[in-house]
């Protein structure tokens, strides 16, 4: 069933080695920030953000991974800026990829859809209009530390928004605002933000990636 104005896209099926975080049926493997049952709702195989019920956090934790999810911003024609279809996807619960209705902006900023919030603007504005299903596909590499606990490289993100590259292996200076914690040496969950707007999510899965090999290149 579609809401009025919804535009469908085919859902990308998770590969066999994926960890499916939302199966279209329930949120039994998610909790709030303080570990309580979530107040978001499920309808038509989608997660609906319910205003004021708080962020939701996956039970499972990850280090390096590939993420796929799909989101849909509500139609809020009178709203502007950060009040227009706002939510966020926090990689490891620490690094926010902004969700927002930024359709039509010629030069997106650090708070627009596809931004790594307050750190990096997207390379292009790949946002679709409200009520269109959109995709995020992210490759995340956790920060690396030496034997003395000193950081040798920050977290890195490559992000595709609706199939377009909006971040190309950018190194992040640290967690973004609103992070779940600052424990950057530890694996972390996926966090979806309740910013008060009726954003919807579906088809959320992660493929864990090996921790070695991706930083090596040996030409034949």
- Check whether 77 has a pLDDT greater than 90: no
- Check whether 22 has a pLDDT greater than 70: yes
How many H-runs (helices) and E-runs (strands) does the chain carry?
Answer: 0, 15
Kindly report the number of other CB atoms within 10 A of residue 26's CB atom. Answer: 11
What are the residues whose beta carbons fall under 8 Å from the beta carbon of 209, sequence distance 6 or more? 64, 65, 66, 139, 141
- Check whether 1 has a pLDDT greater than 50: no
SS3 83: helix
What is the structure's pLDDT at 217?
A: 53
What is the structure's pLDDT at 95?
A: 98
CATH class of domain segment(s) 19-208: mainly beta
Confidence of residue 79 (pLDDT cuts 50, 70, 90): low
Q: Mean pLDDT over residues 21-41, rounded?
A: 96
Query: pLDDT for 2-14, tens place per residue?
Result: 455 555 667 889 9
CA distance 7 to 15: 25
What is the structure's pLDDT at 2?
A: 47
Pairing of strands 164-171, 56-58: unpaired
pLDDT: which is higher, 9 or 40: 40
pLDDT: which is higher, 80 or 55: 55
pTM: 0.92
Rg (Cα) of the chain, in Å, rounded?
17
């Amino acid at each position: 069933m579609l809401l009025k104005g919804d535009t469908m896209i085919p859902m990308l099926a998770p590969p066999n080695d994926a960890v499916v975080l939302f199966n279209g049926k329930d949120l039994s493997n998610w909790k709030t920030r303080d570990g309580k049952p979530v107040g978001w709702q499920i309808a038509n195989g989608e997660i609906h953000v319910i205003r004021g019920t708080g962020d939701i956090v996956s039970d499972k934790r990850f280090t390096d991974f590939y993420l796929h999810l799909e989101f849909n911003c509500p139609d809020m024609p009178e709203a502007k800026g950060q009040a227009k279809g706002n939510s966020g996807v926090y990689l490891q619960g620490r690094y926010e990829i902004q969700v927002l209705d930024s359709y039509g902006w010629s030069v997106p900023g650090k708070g627009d859809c596809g931004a790594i919030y307050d750190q990096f603007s997207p390379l292009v504005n790949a946002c679709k209009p409200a009520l269109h299903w959109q995709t995020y596909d992210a490759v995340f590499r956790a920060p690396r530390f030496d034997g003395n606990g000193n950081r040798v490289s920050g977290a890195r993100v490559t992000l595709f928004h609706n199939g377009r590259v909006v971040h190309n292996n950018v190194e992040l200076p640290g967690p973004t605002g609103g992070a779940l914690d600052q424990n950057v040496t530890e694996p972390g969950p996926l966090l979806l933000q309740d910013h008060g707007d009726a954003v919807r999510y579906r088809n959320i899965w992660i493929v864990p990636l090996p921790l070695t090999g991706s930083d090596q290149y040996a030409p034949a």
